[in-house]
Amino acid sequence: MNYDICIIGAGVVGSLIARQLSKYKVKIAVIERNVDVSMDATGANSGIVHSGYDAKIGTKKARFNVEGCNMMPALCEDLSVKCKMIGSFVLAFDKDDEKVLQQLYDNGIKNGVTGMAIVDRDFILQKEPYVNPLVTKALYAKNAGIVSPYKLNIAAMDNAIMNGVMFLRETKVTGIEKKDGLFHIAVDVTGDICSMSKIDPIKEEDRTDITAKIIINCAGAHADEISHMAGDDSFKIIPRRGEYILFDKTEGSRINTVLFQTPTEKGKGILVTPTVDGNLMIGPDATLAQDKDDKCTNSDNLDYVYKTATQSYTGLNMKKSITVFAGIRATPSTSDFIIEESSKCKNFINVAGIESPGLTASPAIAVYVEGIVRSLMEMKEKAKDEYTMTVKHDKPFSEMTNEEKEKACSSDELCRKIICRCETVSEKEIVAAIYSPCGARTVDGVKKRTRAGMGRCQGGFCSPHVMRILSEHTGIPVNRIAKANANSCMLGRYSRG
């Protein structure tokens, strides 16, 4: 299949770029090795909208962080994604810390960050009563917040697909060859979940003999390998692992702001934050990962995360932890984001090394990459009625008022079937997640879109029901339903017959 643009990688960056370019009359494919979007760095992210005082002045990180932070609330509004600009504190506990706060403040001013102030102990403790009372000062950033990284990612891809973007999942790029100015992309099929599904199955012709005029490399931790295929070895990606502990919603109600520790030579410290869905989360540490796909958690690292978090926050109750997870960050050897056309390969755009604050920067990166693509290829915008930049979602059942619930139930029978009781998710929402443009095909896919299984019992009660619903609608047999990729079948064989 011939495409104008192939985007490799469906993390938040690749998906937002796909959305940004989907308003033009061009044929776009997003190639993703996993069964779903948001399965690597984006899926295991802190979900913080950083205000931008951190990055060094003049870097791409600084520029796109500040721009992205300013764009995030409106983008989330357009995509019906929750984003709460709740502000952040960097907490200082001694004079040395306070000096760092001043440096961060000065750097923030240079980067164009607004809404910052150095605040005293009373202000902090009044806003956050569970902060360690030994706190002396803090850098308060009003323009910081929280967002669900995977929800943003999913909505961006939904939007792109609505505008005609082809999403080739379970498809891994294995080679890139350039002939007569055209890229030929060799791929392997990594699983059969999406081709088994009777809803929008992937057609084999869509991923046979793939060619593209432009490639945008958004392959995260594997971006250096993809770049290598195109003949550009100018950078390396160093995988770093960050581990997190997530707590029950009961714990999220006691915290209102993102709490950072003062960065030291040893590292950035551990953050304590509410999530947009009301949980409490602590993490991440940063350890060198031997393997780019090793997302295992480790007891020493989790202990470190917990112990370090208790230095700034006294409200942690380990009995209320509901899950632990790890993510791999793509740290570039160049120390700054790499967002440019390769000097070694024309029409090959690297969007690589997007580590923190990559999520915050992603909306600005998408617009910047749109500019690069326009400079390389003439693109005509579609007529206004031929595309949309908004995604509408029904309000989740759990967030409705009693009156709204009553109304929803009276008009729709599927609303009346509550599948996940920890998070009050109705069958209607699960079915909607399966039929959405970038539809859920797996248990984790349903979980990220609807929160079914995300609560305190972690799917103990609802997973059999979620699997049944997935099977009923996609036609995939129950014992072939996977947690994540095709190699992660939930169950074994039928015991009878």
Partner 1 sequence: MPIHACWGGTRVVKEFNLVIIGGGPAGMAAALEAYALGIKDIAILERDDSLGGILKQCIHNGFGLHVFKEELTGPEYALRFSEKIKDTDITVLLNTMVINAEKNKTLYAVNPDFGFMTIKAKAVILAMGCRERSRGALRIPGANVAGIFTAGTAQRFVNMEGILPGTKAVILGSGDIGLIMARRMTLEGIKVLGVYEIMDYPGGLTRNIVQCLDDFNIPLHLSTTIVKIHGIGRVTGVTTAKVDKNMIPIKGTEEYVECDTLLLSVGLIPENELTEQMGVGMYQVTGGAYVDQDLETDTEGIFACGNVLHVHDLVDYVTMEGQKAARSAKAYIDESMEQKKTKPEIKVVPGNGLRYVLPQHIYLKDNDEKIRVFFRSKARYKDVLVRALINNEVIAKKKVIRLIPSEMESVEIKASDLYIKTDNGINLKDLVIEVEQ
Instruction: List residues near partner 1 by CB under 8 A.
Output: 245-246, 250, 293, 295-299, 301-302, 319, 321-326, 402, 405-406, 408-410, 413, 415-418, 421-422, 424, 426, 456-461, 463-464, 478-479, 482-496
Strand 83-84 versus strand 28-31 pairing type: unpaired
DSSP E strands, 406-470:
418-420, 425-426
Kindly tell me which of 353 and 455 has the beta carbon lying closer to partner 1.
Answer: 455
> Helix, strand, or coil here: 129?
coil
Shortest spacing between CB 474 and partner 1, in angstroms? 17
Kindly tell me which of 203 and 395 has the beta carbon lying closer to partner 1.
Answer: 395
Shortest spacing between CB 178 and partner 1, in angstroms? 33
Kindly tell me which of 17 and 322 has the beta carbon lying closer to partner 1.
Answer: 322
Shortest spacing between CB 40 and partner 1, in angstroms? 12
How far is Cα 58 from Cα 123, in angstroms, rounded to an integer? 32
The answer to whether 447 and 434 are in contact (CB under 8 A) is no
Shortest spacing between CB 44 and partner 1, in angstroms? 9
Which residues are registered as beta bridge partners of 239?
Answer: 330
The answer to whether 211 and 3 are in contact (CB under 8 A) is yes
Strand 418-420 versus strand 348-352 pairing type: unpaired
How far is Cα 39 from Cα 225, in angstroms, rounded to an integer? 18
Kindly tell me which of 247 and 348 has the beta carbon lying closer to partner 1.
Answer: 247
Kindly tell me which of 136 and 471 has the beta carbon lying closer to partner 1.
Answer: 471
Shortest spacing between CB 48 and partner 1, in angstroms? 21
How far is Cα 71 from Cα 360, in angstroms, rounded to an integer? 9
Q: For residue 430, what are its two tokens?
A: 């699960």
Shortest spacing between CB 211 and partner 1, in angstroms? 31
Kindly tell me which of 388 and 458 has the beta carbon lying closer to partner 1.
Answer: 458
Sequence-ordered list of residues with C-beta below 8 angstroms from that of 364, at least 6 positions apart, any chain: 63, 64, 65, 67, 68, 71
Q: Which residues are catalytic?
A: 50
Q: Which residue has the tokens 């929750």?
A: 82
Q: Which of 283, 322, 316 is nearest to 130 (CA)?
A: 316
Sequence-ordered list of residues with C-beta below 8 angstroms from that of 360, at least 6 positions apart, any chain: 48, 49, 50, 52, 65, 68, 69, 72
> Helix, strand, or coil here: 277?
coil
What distance separates the 2 farthest-apart alpha carbons in the chain? 72
